[in-house]
Amino acid sequence: LSQPEILMIGPMMQMIEDQLDAAFTVHRHWQVDDFDALVDTVAPVIRGIATSHARPVDAALIDRLPNLEVISNFGVGYDTVDAAHAGSKGILVTNTPDVLTEEVADTAFGLLLMTVRELSAAERHLRAGKWSDGAYPLTRSSLRDRTMGILGLGRIGKAIARRAEASEVGVVYCGRSQQPDVDYRYYADLVDMARDVDILMSVIPGGAATQHIINAEVIEALGPQGILINVGRGSAVDEKALISALQSGALFAAGLDVFEHEPSVPDELMALNNAVLLPHVGSASVHTRDAMGQLVVDNLTGWFASKSVLTPVAETPVS
Ligand code: 8YV
């Protein structure tokens, strides 16, 4: 019995690769010198894709695979997959929501605390042997009497909001539309919200619709006491505008888990004391990455076993 053939845009976690190897004939994109030649050769037989974002699954690639049925994306964010194009051709796209919600919210809140209370700088002070010379300076910022504006109040945004409420931080939000089941104050306009809050928490996905949505005007509205935290996608922030605001003091501080051109981080950001920088670790625990990996596998095997997937994205609902 021949197994369905899939293209792996990877590499991926070993537990994913092992399970996919058991269920499918897997063509690995990174094991060939010439990706185009590989696609030309295997195009007619490829029925599925598993991707961890090593290269985009764009309209051009999708159009070259006439028998493609399903694209299984590692991560809740799927901005490297053209899901609208896939949907228009009846190709399913799946992602890995829910299983990472609390983990990413923990990271976001940790990053917020690190930024507001300068925890990584305080630890560097201790490790540099400076404690005996003097206490670490009192932080000029604090979560007390603060309001957080969440940009993108989805599942992760709501989990961050719950943590903020537990810390008695006020919560408001901005998004495409007001949510009827939510009591937090809604802003239709991001600049208006930025003007009113102390902390802007960005959880929005990447892609053309959100490119540089946090621009110079938003950053200026956040102001000299303002703090930006980004755990969504780096592309949502105009990194150049952010850097100049951090340099001039037009913005107080930033905590970033995501960047415009990962894994490269601009030297100007590296040089700033008022930026806390993490290497995109929002969901990066063994527990959570294993759960995400299992979803990548189960969506693919479910599709080929019984034409059902667990977590289709909004653009490609299962009919
Ligand atoms: C992953 C993420 O690090 O889920 C997401 O959207 O950004 C992270 O959990 C990323 O998808 C891994 O490639």
What's the pLDDT tens digit per position in 52-101? 999 999 999 999 999 999 999 999 999 999 999 999 999 999 999 999 99
| CB distance 16 to ligand 1 below 6 Å | no
| pLDDT (tens digit per residue) in 282-307 | 999 999 999 999 999 999 999 999 99
| pLDDT (tens digit per residue) in 213-248 | 999 999 999 999 999 999 999 999 999 999 999 999
The whole-number pLDDT of residue 111 equals: 99
As a whole number of angstroms, the distance between CA 229 and CA 257 comes to: 8
Residue 319 has pLDDT above 80, yes or no: no
Angle at 18 between CA 13 and CA 22, to 5 degrees: 150
As a whole number of angstroms, the distance between CA 268 and CA 42 comes to: 44
Pocket probe mutation, ligand 1, options 51, 55, 74, max atoms within 8 Å of Cβ: 74
Mean pLDDT value across residues 5-16: 97
- Torsions phi, psi of 22, nearest 5? -75, -30
**Dihedral angle, C-alpha 231, 236, 241, 244, nearest 10 °:** 10
Mean pLDDT value across residues 107-126: 98
Q: 318 falls in which pLDDT band (50, 70, 90)?
A: confident
Q: How far is the CA of 246 from the centre of ligand 1 (A)?
A: 26
Q: How far is the CA of 242 from the centre of ligand 1 (A)?
A: 23
Residues near 188 by Cβ (< 8 Å), separated by ≥ 6? 174, 178
**Percentage of residues in the chain having pLDDT higher than 90:** 98
Residue bearing the CA closest to ligand 1, atom 6: 77
In the block, residue with structure tokens 């799946």: 94
| CB distance 50 to ligand 1 below 6 Å | no
Whole-model pTM?
0.97
Going by the DSSP 8-state scheme, the letter that residue 29 receives in this structure is: G
| CB distance 77 to ligand 1 below 6 Å | yes
| pLDDT (tens digit per residue) in 39-63 | 999 999 999 999 999 999 999 999 9
3-state secondary structure of 301: helix
| pLDDT (tens digit per residue) in 259-274 | 999 999 999 999 999 9
Q: Side chain identity at 4, as an amino acid letter?
A: P
Residue 35 has pLDDT above 90, yes or no: yes
3-state secondary structure of 13: coil
Measure CA 106 to chain center.
14
- DSSP H or E stretch at residue 50: strand 46-51
